[in-house]
Amino acid sequence: MEQSRITSEKKNAIIFITGATSGIGKAVATRFAQDGYRLIITGRRKELLEETARDLALNFNVEVLPICFDVRKLKEVEEAITTLPEKWRNIEILVNNAGLAVGLNPIHEGLIDDWERMIDTNIKGLLYVTRQIVPMMVKRKRGHIINIGSIAGKEVYPNGNVYCGSKFAVDAITKGMRIDLLPYGIKVTQVAPGAVETEFSLVRFKGDHQRASDVYKGFTPLTGDDVANVVYFAATLPGHVNIHDLVITPAAQASASHFLKK
């Protein structure tokens, strides 16, 4: 009964989701749309973003505002968020989902461009978006930030070096946010998935479909929907309850690098 009441009260809430054109971000948008939430979805791929917005609005009869920008570019982030229409400014939940892994090289063979893409997206992009949205939450003294981290932010695996470092940073930044925003009644949660079958490995291996598909052979990975259900659960708990940190993996995964494969 209490869960239903809380969920009902939040139906008109606005959810801001980065990286919402595919994978976990799209699944999160879909899960909230199913229950009638208003959505601001963002991404770099304009056509795909607009298509996703149309589909969500049509299938679930919800309001969806698509905003195309690159989280790595501060000026784009600032312009996109500072020019939000007034009716879209009371953001209740921010889901910092945009992130990626590029390459799987030992540190001495790493490509600088790969490192910069990961650092700029996973760390700086999260910070840029948060910096623009959180002051609005502070002013209202309410809100919830959900950062999508990774099991790679809990333990390092071979050749994961910089990607793991970027996700360790998300873990630390999330803890810092929680302390800084406590006086303002703002919740902060990290959801840290293990192996999820999305575009993640395809991006990591730069379009090599064979290498990407090999990652998930021999076991059943998580889906974007699995992670979205956890995000939704954390976001719709009663006001006095907050999940600080949650690691979710497939049953066949015991750590960042230990799998039971058939």
Give the pLDDT confidence of 97-151 residue by residue, as tens digits: 999 999 999 999 999 999 999 999 999 999 999 999 999 999 999 999 999 999 9
Token pair of 83 as six digits: 């020019």
User: pLDDT tier at 86 (50, 70, 90 boundaries)?
Assistant: very high
Structural domain contains residue 185: yes
Structural domain contains residue 236: yes
What's the rounded mean pLDDT across residues 83-105?
96
Structural domain contains residue 22: yes
Query: What pLDDT score does 205 carry?
Result: 77
Query: What pLDDT score does 1 carry?
Result: 43
Structural domain contains residue 253: no
* Residue type for position 149: G
User: pLDDT tier at 12 (50, 70, 90 boundaries)?
Assistant: confident
Residue 212 near residue 205 (C-beta atoms within 8 A): yes
Is 163 catalytic? The answer is yes
Which bin fits 15, alpha (ψ -120 to 50), beta or left (φ > 0)? beta
Token pair of 71 as six digits: 């989280």
Query: What pLDDT score does 11 carry?
Result: 65
Show Cβ contacts of residue 121 under 8 Å, excluding neighbours closer than 6 positions: 71, 72, 98, 99, 100
Per-residue pLDDT reduced to its tens digit, 216-233: 999 999 999 999 999 999
- Where in the sequence is the domain holding 45, given as residue range(s)? 2-248
- pLDDT of residue 159 exceeding 90, the answer is yes
Structural domain contains residue 73: yes
Structural domain contains residue 255: no
Task: List helix spans (H) across 91-223.
Answer: 112-118, 126-140, 161-181, 200-204, 209-214
Per-residue pLDDT reduced to its tens digit, 231-247: 999 999 999 999 999 99
| DSSP secondary structure code for residue 153 in this structure | G
| DSSP secondary structure code for residue 33 in this structure | H
37, 128, 163, 232: which one is catalytic?
Answer: 163
Structural domains of the chain, count: 1
Structural domain contains residue 135: yes
Query: What pLDDT score does 3 carry?
Result: 47
CATH, residue 78: 3.40.50.720
Average pLDDT score, the chain: 94
CA dihedral 119, 121, 123, 124 (to 10 degrees): 100
CA 195 remoteness from chain centre? 15
Cα atoms in the Cβ-side hemisphere of radius 13 Å centred on 247: 16
Structural domain contains residue 89: yes
CA dihedral 11, 142, 226, 58 (to 10 degrees): 30
Query: What pLDDT score does 10 carry?
Result: 58
Residue 95 near residue 231 (C-beta atoms within 8 A): yes
